[in-house]
Structure 1
């Protein structure tokens, strides 16, 4: 399905699962598409029939290819909020789940329109858009015996840049569900956006907005892409949020420790 944003003329592709009254919008990470999250959320959903899941492809990613090069993080947040209103279809609120850069955008959405949002969940969210401001742990040096067969895989090196627990099983999940989005992305758009649009214009305001929605934030101590300390330091701005800190996972936590993350998502459905 496609949502045409009248203000920017951007077209966002989204996929809907279920027809329940409880609505959840899922927002993926940078350069990926909705498939990177769909498999894990659907595993968590099981046979529940009271939930409606909306998987969004962000501008320039997945099937949302018809975009203007002038978009930035603030405009994308506004587009997502208009999509949220369209999805709500008269209901009071929609829940949000954001991974990585999707989690960054969810923070922007909460800072602008928390009253239109129900509960939220952030998986390994970016807190600072500027990489140089992030407090990051050192990347784990993996045992060559473990990684050698992965290096021979087509996307093995990319997987090893993001994982915290390398395995051939994890690589298979990554290649099938995450890498496919990177392969389909509009690289011209991403190149421009990463240089001119990636960071909120007023990130300080986003970081200092009190958010009293109920939420769950899941972090990894070995996440060398977005880190975990920065958003923990802002916990006072999220007084109704529970934090879960995982020890042995990298940035792609839903791949590295899939069983744990699926259980956490299941708990979120019943939060």
Structure 2
């Protein structure tokens, strides 16, 4: 599906009906990674309209000539929300760079955002980021991948098994050749959003923050510092998980996202809890 936002044809996938849940992927992939992580959560849980956009320069959404950084990407994402969700309440989830954008959406639309989930979120400053270390690997597991894909898999996953290879092949690898490297590079040159970080009032809706103990991209210390901004946040750091946490710990991921949705469902219109 497509929605025109500021003259850009923004591609997105949509499943189900009910409370909208906008799920934003990270850099260098497309909507399929978030769909692969979240759709199992909704398999036996009706009542949600899942919206999975492709960010500019990834998947099937082009990078417009005027896009110069994250401020423009955020404007495009907010425009997509206006076009697809309208003025309804919605929940939003994001992984990595998508988490950085999702948090900004909640800052700008706190009364409309019914819940916020941040998965290995990128922050303003990364600190105490561990070196990449493989915790568990099956012998020669990457041999099942094309040579061009092997390096991506080996650098991304800390759990390297036939199961994680299959998830990589289904949800990550198809997006790699679709990335507009020049456009993505232009966007990431100005990846920090303008304004004072944390300048908005704390978001008070149900929040989930997940971090991988072995995440060599953003670490887990930075995500922990977000807790003070979210008075209704659950924070969990998972062992045996790096930046590919949803693929490496799918059972725990599903359980924690399910509990977050339980808390979102308790909310009434306008952010008030139901009796």
TM-score by length of 1: 0.88
In structure 2, the residue matched to 1:109 is 105
Which string of whole-angstrom CA distances, capped at 9 and with x for unpartnered residues, describes residues 160-216 of structure 1? 211121112201111211121122111221122222x222123x4346642212101
Give 1:153-192 correspondences, 5 Å limit: 153-154=145-146, 155-192=149-186
In structure 2, the residue matched to 1:255 is 247
Coordinate RMSD, CA, aligned? 2.0
Structure 2: gaps of 5 or more residues: 264-275
Residue 232 of structure 1 and its aligned partner are, at CA, apart by 0.9
Q: 1:30 aligns with which of 24, 27, 31?
A: 27
CA contact (8 A) 1:23 1:52 kept: yes
In structure 2, the residue matched to 1:136 is 129
Give 1:190-209 correspondences, 5 Å limit: 190-195=184-189, 197-202=190-195, 204-206=196-198, 209=201
In structure 1, the residue matched to 2:53 is 56
1:70 correspondence with 2:62: no
TM-score by length of 2: 0.87
Which string of whole-angstrom CA distances, capped at 9 and with x for unpartnered residues, describes residues 141-163 of structure 1? 557x7353325632222112111
In structure 2, the residue matched to 1:94 is 90
Could you say what secondary structure the match of 1:76 adopts?
Answer: helix
Structure 1: gaps of 5 or more residues: none
Q: 1:68 to 1:11 in 2, by over 3 A?
A: farther
Q: Distance in 1 between matches of 2:46 and 2:20?
A: 11
CA contact (8 A) 2:134 2:159 kept: no
In structure 2, the residue matched to 1:3 is 3
Size of the alignment, in residue pairs? Answer: 261
Q: Distance in 1 between matches of 2:46 and 2:250?
A: 22
